Structure 1
């Protein structure tokens, strides 16, 4: 069995920055309550590692960042890599919280682009994933930002003279292409600004370039949009067996039966440590026909 680690994979610059900010904050405020507004990145093991540093995470399904902020009474609040709305930022200041903003630069750039076009009188279509915090922050900018999840969301929109379309940074190339084509058909003069971040794009393109792969493991959290998009692209690319796993211990031996070429990639929010464990376990299987059951050492997850 040939084991093929896909390059590139794992942490992007925005995630590295967010994790470093979290570690710096824990060091700077050792005797202060520190709370993460949502998951710092969509990986539960990274959240657990932050908790080991004394950083608590407030998260509740169906709750917006603005609603979650009500649960934080004092101390430091860390905004996640997914970006935040101005309303949330100002509310945190009004509550007297110390604010640490770990928003990814690419996410912030998209927000600035949206604001620039709104200031010029444009209506903005924003392609994203419903309830995702990155999309939530952009939609909150203005009532003239229209959320689009798929082509059907375009049907009831009126005709606009000045219109621009952009997208959440972690969407798949395939996914936004379909919506963009439908948007161009309805609005022939629409301006298109593809904001898929470079880290997301090159990881997706690396999957598209794979050939003769029998099985692909995507290491990532089920809540991670960019990890799920890697899986979807692999399926679209006709890789016969694609599995989204969180750790090496999720691998089942029957998945590897008759597999000659096995590839491994990981989402931009997945610790290298976890991906390396998957590679180690698969290499052991290739040589001994046995998967390794590896213990996760939390202290390595923020390296």
Structure 2
């Protein structure tokens, strides 16, 4: 009889605090006895399977008030640009707050320092919803993502540096060191969610115990991609999958396989992947 395949999960994985909260908020809105249509501001989270389930329950998604004729709109964990929030309110929508508390804090911090005339450097993906929401609170800002960009950005005078909450802490530290070398007086905000670092550390700990790794999560999820790249850099065989049908046949060669998942990956998806790997 062949030896049963062992699947080992990382100690920290799956839904983050903000994502878990906003999913529950939407579920509560679905269950309410209401006559108004329900929308989310853009895709609620970076996970195709979750979005499909919400669509099946009648939840739409819009990014501009003119895309619908009013109703309730849940602000996703990434937050919303203040101007866009104002537009939805003025159009008569009922706004349901789902912004992650850490993102709200980042917005409040940037707004406070901007009003004092400080220059703001945002470290993150300029195309990410959270970064756009934070940018909306700044009067004078630059958004960077790489060490190369940090070497050329303006850092004179009073400068505040703040990061996208799901950024790799190692990346942020490297960029901050460069900025500090250019202006020792900059103020750095430790805005990265602790769970982001814990997922990375937990994965690194797991890699030494398994023969291969499967990273579960949306293909458009930045923190999931970073987990995959972390595994890939070690040289261990690894795959980034969204669903069971993406599991490669070659996984069947390995007896001990590790699983981790990004912040937008629900437990039921992780469970399905684990069962499928065991049955290979």
Same fold (TM over 0.5): yes
TM-fit CA distance, 1:169? 0.6
The more displaced of 206-215 and 164-173 is 206-215
TM-score (norm 2): 0.91
Counterpart in the other structure of 1:84:
80
Tell me the equivalent position of 1:13.
Answer: 17
Where do 1:131-142 residues align within 5 Å?
131-142=127-138
2:7 maps to 3
Return the offset for 1:243: 1.1
Q: Which of 245, 249, 252 in structure 2 is aligned with 1:249?
A: 245
Aligned to 1:280: 275
Alignment of 1:181 with 2:185, yes or no, is: no
SS for the counterpart of 1:83 is coil
Partners of 1:79 and 1:102 within 8 A in 2 = yes
Q: For residue 225 of structure 1, what is the aligned residue in structure 2? A: 222
Rounded to whole Å, the distance in 2 between the matches of 1:160 and 1:11 is 39
TM-score by length of 1: 0.85
Structure 2, unaligned runs of 5 or more: none
Paired residues for 1:20-59 under 5 Å: 20-28=24-32, 30-58=34-62
Q: What is the distance in 2 between the residues matched to 1:235 and 1:178?
A: 20
Aligned residues of 1:172 and 1:233 also touching (Cα < 8 A): no
| Counterpart in the other structure of 2:189 | 193
Aligned match of 1:294: none
Runs of 5+ consecutive residues of structure 1 not aligned to the other structure: 59-64, 285-290, 292-303
1:71 Cα shift? 1.5
Describe the SS at the equivalent of 2:67: coil
Q: Distance in 1 between matches of 2:58 and 2:175?
A: 42
Q: Match for residue 127 of structure 1?
A: 123
Whole-angstrom distance in 1 between the partners of 2:24 and 2:205: 32
Spell out the pairing of 1:161-180 with structure 2 (5 A cutoff).
161-180=157-176
Cα offset for 1:159? Answer: 4.2
Deviations 1:32-65 (A, max 9, x none): 211111111111111111122211123xxxxxx4
Are positions 1:262 and 2:257 aligned together? yes
Task: Give, in angstroms, the shift of residue 275 of structure 1.
Answer: 0.3
